[in-house]
Structure 1
Amino acid sequence: MTDTSPALPPLTVTTSLPPAPVSPDVEIDLESDLASDLAIGDPAPAHRVGTAADDAGLARMIAAFRVLQVRHARVLAHESAAQGLGITDTRFLVHLAASEGQATTPKQAGDVLELSTGAMTSLLDRLERHGHLERRPNPGDRRSILVHLTPSGAAVARAVSAAYASAFSEAVPATERNGVAAALEDIGAALDRRHRAATAR
């Protein structure tokens, strides 16, 4: 079958960030992943619906999402290393900060980060040593504890989030942000539905 997918332009990375050192808790070849993601070829048959323009738009959107994933990983690795943390450490601090001051249990945190109990305990120990969080007794359940963000941890979350706020505000005009946010929410919900359906089999 002849490949009718639109040719994608050469990728050029324009960023003021220096090359990102990869966190010790992740092994990822960003350049190889980026190259393989751009070589997407024909969309899968299930995706080939509507007009050729629809198919071209879908292919471009998926390719852009894959490139976004790689660039997100690069920025997160750089920002985490700048704070002396691993990527998963940073993800957890940002998650806690986004919870608007609500504490979480280690089990809830492990579910969000998809970590085992042992890995979650190690992460909490590490962040507590850094002074970024503290564990307190759970007043609603004496058998468990709650994890609270400290001012130091909140400062890390703000610093990391600022890099994303800068990029998003640069790329998306204020008048379009609600629409972009809605599209991202819809894509996330669709991916979650497929994940739940696949794991329920």
Structure 2
Amino acid sequence: MTDTSPALPPLTVTIGLPPAPVSPDVESDLAVGDPAPAYRGGTDADDAGLARMIAAFRVLQVRHARVLAHESAAQGLGITDTRFLVHLAAAEGQATTPKQAGDVLELSTGATTSLLDRLERHGHLERRPNPSDRRSILVHLTPSGAAVARTVGAAYASAFSEAVPVAERVDVAAALEDIGAALDRRYRASTAR
């Protein structure tokens, strides 16, 4: 099948480095058109800057999805399995309940049980009785699961280290945290209706 959609103009993303053009394979995954059609309140520079940020975020999402899929497959896992192992590893030794696991991944009870069963079979996590509530269990990362999380995390650490100079990392982290918080506020407001 031949792609007849119009080509996107090259997009460059700069974070302390010279602009890097977006490859055609990523461009083909992105929708053509104004990435911020509802935003019309600032100057042309504001509009261009916002449009560029949103386009850069879309490219980042595509590339993140590809890396996560590749790293998951290399570990013999599904994407959701890997996301949960990375989540548990980031909790720095704190266990979680199956309900909390399902909430984090937005999974049903049945899907969460399947996920935990799969990861336990692989030896990446274990279920233990909850000492503060004998009716429930806690999910703990095993050394094998921690190794998977470290391997996947290393791919991201390498990319961030390559792309963001040391002097800019705190500012970039703060910007990402602020964007995440703003998206979370929007999500919570829309689901509270």
**Which string of whole-angstrom CA distances, capped at 9 and with x for unpartnered residues, describes residues 126-160 of structure 1?**
00000000000000001100000000000000000
1:20·1:78 contact (CA, 8 Å) conserved in 2?
A: no
CA contact (8 A) 1:23 1:86 kept: no
Distance 1:97 1:18, change over 3 A: farther
Query: How far is the alpha carbon of 1:49 from its aligned partner?
Result: 1.6
Whether the aligned pair in 2 keeps the contact of 1:43 and 1:59 (CA below 8 Å) is yes
Contact 1:104 1:148 in 2 (8 A): yes
CA distance in 1, matches of 2:77, 2:62: 19
Distance 1:15 1:173, change over 3 A: closer
CA apart distance, 1:79: 0.2
Decide whether aligned partners of structure 1 residues 21 and 171 sit closer, same or farther in structure 2, where only a CA change above 3 A counts.
closer
For 1:134 and 1:10, locate their aligned partners in 2 and report how far apart those are by CA, in whole Å.
47
Change (3 A) 1:2 1:85: closer
Where in structure 2 are there 5+ consecutive unaligned residues?
none
Query: How has the CA–CA distance of structure 1 residues 15 and 90 changed in structure 2, closer, same or farther, with 3 Å as cutoff?
Result: farther
CA contact (8 A) 2:124 2:142 kept: yes
Aligned length: 192
Shift of the 5–74 alpha-carbon distance from structure 1 to 2, 3 Å rule, reads closer
Deviation of 1:78 after TM superposition, in Å, equals 0.2
Return 5+ residue gaps in structure 1 as ranges: 27-35
- Shift in Å, 1:21: 24
Change (3 A) 1:120 1:54: same
State the TM-score, normalized to the length of structure 2: 0.85
Aligned to 2:7, the other structure's residue is in SS state coil
- In structure 2, do the counterparts of structure 1 residues 20 and 58 end up closer, same or farther at CA, with 3 Å as the change threshold? closer
In structure 2, relative to structure 1, the CA distance for the partners of 1:76 and 1:23 (3 Å cut) is: farther
2:186 corresponding residue in structure 1: 194
Structure 1 residue aligned with 2:177 = 185
Map 1:26-65 → 2, pairs under 5 A: 38-42=30-34, 44=36, 46-65=38-57
Of the candidates 106, 111, 114, which is equivalent to residue 103 of structure 2?
Answer: 111
What is the Cα deviation at residue 9 of structure 1?
A: 3.8
What is the alpha-carbon distance in structure 2 between the residues aligned to residue 56 and residue 9 of structure 1?
A: 14
Normalised by the length of structure 1, the TM-score is 0.82
CA contact (8 A) 1:137 1:146 kept: yes
Distance 1:81 1:50 in 2: 44
Decide whether the 8 Å contact of 1:93 with 1:153 is kept in 2.
yes
* C-alpha distance 164-90 of structure 1, shift in aligned 2 (>3 A): same
- Corresponding residue SS for 2:29: helix
RMSD, aligned CA = 7.1
